[in-house]
Amino acid sequence: MENFEKIIREKLLRESEVNSRRQFVKQCANGIGGLALGSIFMGCNPFEEQTQKVQFSERDLNPLATLAPPLNAKAKSVIYLHMAGSPSQLEMFDYKPVLEKLNNQPCPDSFIEGRKFAFIKGKPKLLGPQAKFSQEGESGNWVSDNMPHFKKVVDEVSFLKAVHTDQFNHGPAQLFMHTGSPRLGRPSIGAWTTYGLGSENQNLPGFVVLTSGGLAPSAGKSVWGSGFLPSVYQGVQCRSKGDPVLYIDDPKGISRDIKKSTINAINKINKQEYMKYGDPEILARINQYEMAYRMQIAVPNVMNIENEPENIKQMYGVEPGKESFANNCLLARKLVEDGVRFVQLFDWGWDSHGTNHQTAVDLGLRNKCKDIDRPITALILDLKQRGLLDDTLIVWGGEFGRTPMQENRGNVEMAFKGRDHHGDAFTMWMAGGGIKRGGSHGATDEIGFSGVEGRVSVHDVHATILHLLGFNHEQFTFDFQGRPFRLTDVHGHVINEILA
């Protein structure tokens, strides 16, 4: 009875909205305008009957239908591994022997004069690398002892050693890294990808998000949002612990037939609403109802890591039933194997300020590296052995880097060793579809403060990803508020030096 009364109230509310003064004025304005235009365009007989028919294209009714890229694509899908909080490149991939010799020495004034940092005040001391480095593989690229497993696959990746950003706070920097803008409202790179290519599996979302580390990114869900694109292209967050999607099971007593009949009835009304108002979000709503129905069957299967062979589970180091980065890496492989276009992993806990044990670059950072080292190595090897690495692009990085100076919050020496936020230079790497094996592009100065060659921007990274997916980033646009928008805005160049 309570549910029935709720439906009646919703019906009355909807009727009041449709019959409101605002709606009346809107309809009158449209009607008068239509009469004026009709007298111009209807020819000699303005009273000839005109029948308006709304035609639904396949793209309207199925916005995730597979589309061919306009250019030659090297990658069909993307797995983006974001270390939220920003890992220290100086303890992982950017070895600086000079910084090691200058450890605990006062930072030269030339590096800090006129510069703005998130927490460093006064004159900090330089902090040498808190890890041991070695050159690995045929490429001879440097890798620290924080990443022992990764050394096995170092020849599969190409490093970008001098990425820079103009943002130094987590939220805006994460937005910039994933949407091309530090402000809210722009579509994420995953949304752009599914908008341009659709999805190869119509029973799963085209863009799936997996999180670990206990917290969501500082920028919130906007980093996988659709912005001004239709909402069907936003990321769908799944979980590696518990039900993969909340409320995926039907209530007791509701069969699949009843559920399907309900959705059909709802979407019949939605189509009538679209014919009346022409709002594209109504089409997105229609598709999302249909997708949710299909996901009830497809998601539990693809999100189940228990059915993987024991050797694969050991390879990744998974922990079934728990939320972990290892579980998410294995799920990422299963998702791209099943045709999901873009899989985004966010692992929280990389903000190494040195305020406590967990955020110290010689303690907590080592533990975080241990959490990702084995799973990332397994992901690359697993994709390769299945023949998927050639057309799957893997991207790894944070939102910015860390300073070569030890953080001295409030101009006071910290009890633990940490590094402040730093946008001048940080390391990212890519592997797989269309990427040169064993490559390295760019370099920083002797202490790792600034890029001195091969500097690339966040927009350059985006342009390169889109290029590998078969798009010219300058021509891949969406019209909004009177002008064409693109992921790279008015910037960006493809980083040809790391392309195969």
**Rounded CA Rg of the chain:** 26
Cβ distance 334 to 397 under 8 Å?
A: no
Q: Per-residue DSSP letters for 301-325?
A: HHT--TTS-HHHHHHHT--TTS--H
HSE value, Cβ hemisphere, 13 Å, CA-based, for 285? 16
Cβ distance 444 to 451 under 8 Å?
A: yes
For residue 302, give the nearest of 328, 335, 332 by alpha carbon.
335
| 60 token code pair | 């309207």
Predicted confidence at residue 27, as pLDDT, reads 55
Predicted confidence at residue 51, as pLDDT, reads 38
Predicted confidence at residue 21, as pLDDT, reads 62
Cβ distance 328 to 378 under 8 Å?
A: no
Predicted confidence at residue 185, as pLDDT, reads 95
User: pLDDT 10s digit of each residue in the chain, 500 long?
Assistant: 565 566 667 666 666 665 666 555 555 544 444 444 444 333 444 444 443 455 666 677 788 889 999 999 999 999 999 999 999 999 999 999 999 999 999 998 888 888 889 999 888 999 999 999 999 999 999 999 999 999 999 999 999 999 999 998 999 999 999 999 999 999 999 999 999 999 998 888 999 999 999 888 999 999 999 999 998 999 999 876 777 776 666 777 777 777 777 778 887 888 888 788 778 778 777 777 777 766 666 667 778 888 899 999 999 999 888 889 999 999 999 999 999 999 999 999 999 999 999 999 999 999 999 999 999 999 999 999 999 999 999 999 999 999 999 999 888 888 899 999 999 999 999 999 999 999 999 999 999 999 999 999 999 999 999 999 999 999 999 999 999 999 999 999 999 999 99
**How crowded is residue 255: how many other Cβ atoms within 10 Å of its Cβ?**
9
Predicted confidence at residue 265, as pLDDT, reads 83
The Cα–Cα gap between 239 and 298 comes to 15
The torsion angles phi and psi of 384, rounded to 5 degrees, stand at: -65, -45
For residue 433, give the nearest of 393, 394, 395, 384 by alpha carbon.
393
Residue 454: Cβ-neighbour burial (10 angstroms; 0-12, 13-18, 19+): middle
**How crowded is residue 485: how many other Cβ atoms within 10 Å of its Cβ?**
18
Q: pTM for this one?
A: 0.85
The Cα–Cα gap between 19 and 286 comes to 24
| 204 token code pair | 């799963």
Predicted confidence at residue 1, as pLDDT, reads 52
